[in-house]
Every structure is written in structure tokens, then in C-alpha cells.
Structure 1
Amino acid sequence: MGFIKRIKEEIAVIRQRDPAIHSAMEVFLYPSFKVMLHYRIAHKLYLKKHYFLARWVSQRGVRKTGIEIHPGAEIGKGFFIDHGNGVIIGETTMIGDNVTLYQGVTLGGTGKEQGKRHPTVGNNVMISAGAKVLGSFTIGDNSKIGAGSVVLEEVPPNSTVVGVPGRVVKRDNHALPQEELDQVNLPDPVKEDLSSLHHANAELTNRIIDLERELRVLKKQEKSDIGG
């Protein structure tokens, strides 16, 4: 893809996903746009094994935006970082198409792995603010990671993850368009567990009441039989 076409694509993605952008000119001030320009240049240098120059370009992008993308990371089309300050993307990270990250997201390693040590993120994935995805595993297509979650193991496609450590709540197996990917409408597994416990407790309470009632009836029958 040519340089001009790539810029037009970046502008279109940002305008589509951020309602705060009112004109194409504003996009040029946007951190996501700036850092992706630096990343594309740094990535080309990295592939040509100009590692120092690649990191130099990359670090200039970090200083300007607060977003750190290692030049070795592989990023697909339609990538978008909303706000973005504090986002970190590690060297062996692989990101598919139409992925959205929010501020404070880390796609990192555990510090104990060699070779491929960062996550692989599928297509149409949203990772909410402050989420940490650590390790060499895959986040399946059409999945959502809730804000503040810490994900340490593989996520199946079409899933939602929330909590620390992250817990998977499976969803219907269908692709989720970007307009349905938001940080608010997420399931709460703790609330669901409490609701299940409350329901089970209510059933046990009702069963005990029934047993006590049956016991009283039996006692009355025994007294009646003895009296007769």
C-alpha cells in the first residue's frame, strides 16, 4: 500500500471510531495517527535489520505521544488507539485487522519467555482501558477485553473477558461490528456468581421449609395414631 493511501486509511479509521474528531485536519493532531506514522517507518527499518534506526524512530514517537509500539510488532489494517497514553505493544506482538485499543493497554510478555513472547490479537478485537495482556497466546477474533482486566491465558473467539485474573464469558459465534464494541456493556461474572448463589440459597431455604412442614405433619399424624 502506498504512503498516501495509508495516510488516508488512517484518517478514515480515526474519524469513524472517534466521535470527538470533527474534521480531517484534527486527525493530524491525534496521538494514534502520529504514532502509527512513526511505527510504519520504524517497522520497515526493523525488517531491513536497521535495528538502531528503527528504535530511534520508534522512541521519537513515544516522546510525542506517550504510546510505545516496538518496531518489531506486526499490525494489520484498521488499527485504532483511542487517546492512547500509556499503551505499550511488545516486539513479538501480532495484531490482526480492525483492532481497537484504549489508553493504558499493555500487550506484553511475562519476562520468562524466549522467542515469541507477546500476544497474538485476532481480528475485530477491542481491548479496553487499562487492560493487561501478558504472554504468548492468542486473543480470538471478535473478542472484547474489559477495562482493567489482566489476561494471562488464551481467549477463544467471540468471547468477553473481565476481571483479575481475566475470566472468559463466551458469546454467540458471530462477528461483532465495530459499533457494537464498547467498554461498558460487558458481563459481570462476579455478579452472575452471586446471583447464582442467591438463587441456590433461596432454593435450599424453600426446601428446608418444605421439609419442616412435612415433619410437622408427620408428628401430628403420629400423635393422632397414638391417641386413637
Structure 2
Amino acid sequence: MWKSIKSDISAVFDNDPAARSWFEVVFTYSGLHAIWAHRIGHWFYKRGMYTIARIISQFSRFMTGIEIHPGAVIGNRLFIDHGMGVVIGETCEIGDDVILYQGVTLGGTGKEKGKRHPTIGNNVVIGSGAKILGSFTVGENSRVGSNAVVIQEVPPNSTVVCIPGKLVKRDGVRVNRLDHANLPDPVIDMFEGLQQQINELKAQLELERQKNGGAREHDAQSV
């Protein structure tokens, strides 16, 4: 137990340059408090004492602003930085050395039963406001950009950004170029598609008009 507590504190110093002393970290870091409360709640949850586990979870949520379901499985050295608004679902599994920033949601997509929350591999970093929704795996050593919405599998050693999440780098190699100054606009794309169809219909009507005009001229000459 003490080894785990020491490991959690060390994770803060490894990932937060603002951490100055053990006293400050132990008494002022809400992410650390939420993780410790979860370990206690998870102990009760595994033994079927679900109500006690949920009471501990709700108290932690009230005190820290971080909601971790007591059924979630969390590995070693998880670091939650500025964790207000972080939500971790019941069947979520988190590996070792994971970093979560403010506003991250590891949730489900509906009322399905069984495994319905994501599995996060080792050494994954998830940026502020990112939403990872569904029962799939985010591979180890991957990065999820701030405010991305991820709804499908992420391979190991990858970088995912945008809404919905797009794979832009894998194994250090760029997959799809992301141009932040020219992000797609689905409304404009829809109108451009409609305009193209209208232009095609106009061209067809003009072609039919020319054919009909030529036929009438030919009939007049025959008479």
C-alpha cells in the first residue's frame, strides 16, 4: 500500500514541473486525492459492497471534481493534471503511466451492458477536453489531442486529433496531414455538393433543349 502511495506521488513529480514539495503534493493535488479515494472505493467494489463504494466515489467527486466509478480498473502511476471534470466509467481499464488532463471523459455510448468503456494502454497521454467513447482500446504510447472525440480503436504509438478523431501519426510517421487553418466545414461541403448536382441537372436540361430544338428545326425543313 505504502509503495503504491509513494509511486503515485512520484508520478506527480515526474509529470508536473510545478510540484515543489511532498507536503504540497499530498495536501493540494486533487488528482492524487481522487486516485487514492478510488483505490479505497475499488477495494469495497471488488468485495460486492457496491453502495459503500459509490458513497466513497460520490464524496471524492464532491471534493475533487473528478468522477471515477469504483468499478474502473486503474494501473500504477496514473497522473490526473488539473483534473476538474474528468469522468472515468465503470468498465474502463487504464494501464500504467497514463496522463489525463482536465475535462477528459472515458465513457460509453449508450445503455449497452458488459464492457462499454475504453481500455487505455500504458504510457498514453490524453489532452484536455478529449472524449473517448466506447468499448475499444487506445494502444500504448499513443497521444489523444485536446478536445478530440475518439469513437474507434487507436493503434499503438499513434496520435489522434479532431472531431471525430483522425489518426495523423503512427510510429513517428505522419499519416494524414492536419491543416489547422483549413479544417473541413460539413455544411459548406453539403451545399457545394448540392450546387454541383444542380449544375449537372442544368447541363442535362440544356442538352435536351438543344436536341428538341434541332428535332423541331429538322421537322420544319421536312415540311
- TM-score in same-fold range (> 0.5): yes
- What is residue 61 of structure 2 aligned with on the other side? 62
Counterpart of 2:119 in structure 1 is: 120
The answer to whether the Cα contact below 8 Å between 2:97 and 2:122 also exists between their aligned partners in 1 is yes
Compared CA separation, residues 40 and 188, structure 1 to 2 (3 A): same
Number of aligned residues: 182
TM-superposed CA distance for 1:25, in Å, is 0.5
Q: Which residue of 2 aligns with 1:38?
A: 37
CA contact (8 A) 2:150 2:165 kept: yes
Q: Which runs of 5+ in 1 are unaligned?
A: 175-185, 195-228
Identify if the C-alpha distance between structure 1 residues 25 and 170 changes in structure 2 by more than 3 Å, giving closer, same or farther.
Answer: same
Does the CA contact (< 8 Å) of 1:126 and 1:145 recur in 2?
yes
C-alpha distance in structure 1 between counterparts of 2:37 and 2:135, whole Å? 25
Runs of 4+ in 1 over 6 A off after TM superposition: none
1:42-85: per-residue Cα shift (whole Å, max 9, x none)?
00000000000000011111011000000000011111100100
* Displacement of 1:112: 3.8
The one-letter code of the counterpart of 1:118 is H
- 1:109 is aligned to 108
Name the counterpart of 1:82: 81
**1:141-156 residue pairs with structure 2 within 5 A?**
141-156=140-155
Superposed, 1:95-106 pairs within 5 Å as 95-106=94-105
Letter in 2 for 1:51: Y
Contact 2:167 2:175 in 1 (8 A): no
Contact kept in structure 2, 1:84 and 1:103, CA below 8 Å: yes
Partner of 1:5: 3
The amino acid across from 2:75 in the alignment is G
Q: State how far apart, in whole Å, the 2-side matches of 1:6 and 1:190 are.
A: 40
CA deviation string 1:115-166 (max 9, x = no partner): 0000000111000000000000000111000000000000011110000000
Secondary structure in 1 matching 2:179: helix
User: d(CA) in 2 for partners of 1:187 and 1:27?
Assistant: 39
CA distance in 2, matches of 1:146, 1:79: 18
Identical counterparts, % of pairs? 55
SS of structure 2 residue aligned to 1:25:
helix
Alignment counterpart, residue 12 of structure 2, candidates 11, 14, 30 = 14
SS of the residue corresponding to residue 142 of structure 1 reads coil
Q: Tell me how far 1:173 sits from its aligned partner.
A: 6.6
SS of equivalent residue, structure 2 residue 168: strand
Distance 2:111 2:59 in 1: 28
- 1-structure distance, mates of 2:5, 2:159: 32
Q: Does the CA contact (< 8 Å) of 2:79 and 2:100 recur in 1?
A: yes
Could you tell me which of 180, 184, 191 is aligned with 2:179?
Answer: 191
Q: Classify 1:33/1:187 alpha carbon distance in 2 versus 1 (closer, same or farther; 3 Å).
A: farther
Give the Å deviation of 1:13.
0.6
